[in-house]
Structure 1
């Protein structure tokens, strides 16, 4: 947990805002009974990463995931504090930023920028084991008189992923669907990439893009019980 400030008791209901364009994260939250607002941060991820590496040197894959999750959450929180609203009728209470990174042989991989890169990536991934890191960051944007703490805190969920030993034809067919270009690590476990993931060790939803147990724990640090989310 990072930068935690003392929280107070949560209001009866708490409105979550998801600072992510990921349809998989949104669907995961909705399937768990949460209906978040959505606002994409617009953060320049390459610039954020370059600045951090300039100041601190090379970052571990898990650190990259947390750094980018924090950047997204805090950028949206800053917009809200300066008057931007996520929805004309609903004011958010807590902002959630997430970012996923695949670690393979110690290297960090996000979304491949082209089909060629996706094919090269899968040539490395097939028959191997990687770790999917998802950074989670929360910012409490509630007013003090509404139970807000101003806290900003986060953590990383990590799940071991074993990939099937795909043939070249299978890699080509999967890349041709376009799905690998849209997701971190160039694969999904809950979509077209499912047949190519042999097993996972850890939280399934973390691989999809948001760990529900980890999110519950982070919310508890804000004195927000899971059942308070609307």
Structure 2
């Protein structure tokens, strides 16, 4: 039983590796805007769940029976800001700067949607979807620090224009909830969804190559 991660995110890959799983990586290539356009007034949780499901299905289709038995996981993250706007990755550094001007000193909700698809005999035999919400308390970066953070381009690659496990962690005062979810893939939620499709975490540990010490 192999886990297939339908994401190019190095942060998600790092979380899984640190938790004892070496996944196969297959990028979904899903047009997120096109998927969102098919939804009618979704809640933030419904939006990230739908995007995660689309990514998981795209990976299942791309595998085309290459793996006789596997479990595919699609993920999507967005930030519900204090004023209620739900945002993904900023399109450029100016948009990231504007978001930080609104985020500084406030609390937002980082939502991560997960979709798990179990494959057997090249077909999907079980599915489970869910979303996780974690409250994030933002600090006040100085103008100099924010300039340097934007210049690193890290905030351009992540939902909400911040990270917990990278440079952005300096500007997060605290979180209420699951830290792995803020990084991009919730281990507790993933464990529960895996159980719903009949896969234990221990099975994935056994299927992963032994770590190099």
In 2, Cα distance between equivalents of 1:174 and 1:92:
42
In 2, Cα distance between equivalents of 1:92 and 1:196:
42
Q: Relative to total residues, which structure has the larger strand share, 1 or 2? A: 2
The more displaced of 166-175 and 154-163 is 166-175
CA contact (8 A) 1:16 1:92 kept: no
Q: Which has the higher contact order (CA 8 A, sep 6+)?
A: 1
In 1, Cα distance between equivalents of 2:77 and 2:48:
6
* Aligned 1:9-28 pairs, distance under 5 A: 14-28=1-15
Q: 1:114 pairs with 80, 87, 92, which one?
A: 92
- SS of the aligned residue for 1:193 comes to helix
| Offset at residue 176 of structure 1 (A) | 1.0
In 2, Cα distance between equivalents of 1:64 and 1:58:
9
Instruction: Confirm or deny that 1:74 pairs with 2:57.
Output: yes
Instruction: Confirm or deny that 1:213 pairs with 2:195.
Output: no
In 2, Cα distance between equivalents of 1:91 and 1:173:
47
| Offset at residue 141 of structure 1 (A) | 1.3
Q: 2:74 pairs with 97, 109, 114, which one?
A: 97
- Report the CA distance shift for 1:203/1:215 in structure 2 as closer, same or farther (over 3 A): same
CA contact (8 A) 1:189 1:197 kept: yes
| Offset at residue 152 of structure 1 (A) | 1.9
Structure 2: unaligned runs, 5 residues or longer: 208-213
In 2, Cα distance between equivalents of 1:61 and 1:149:
27
In 2, Cα distance between equivalents of 1:167 and 1:59:
35
- 2:171 matched to which residue of 1? 196
- SS of the aligned residue for 2:120 comes to coil
TM-score (normalizing by structure 2): 0.91
- 1:35 matched to which residue of 2? 22
In 2, Cα distance between equivalents of 1:48 and 1:225:
30
Structure 1: unaligned runs, 5 residues or longer: 1-13
| Offset at residue 167 of structure 1 (A) | 2.7
CA contact (8 A) 2:137 2:173 kept: yes
Instruction: Confirm or deny that 1:142 pairs with 2:125.
Output: no
Q: 1:58 pairs with 41, 47, 59, which one?
A: 41
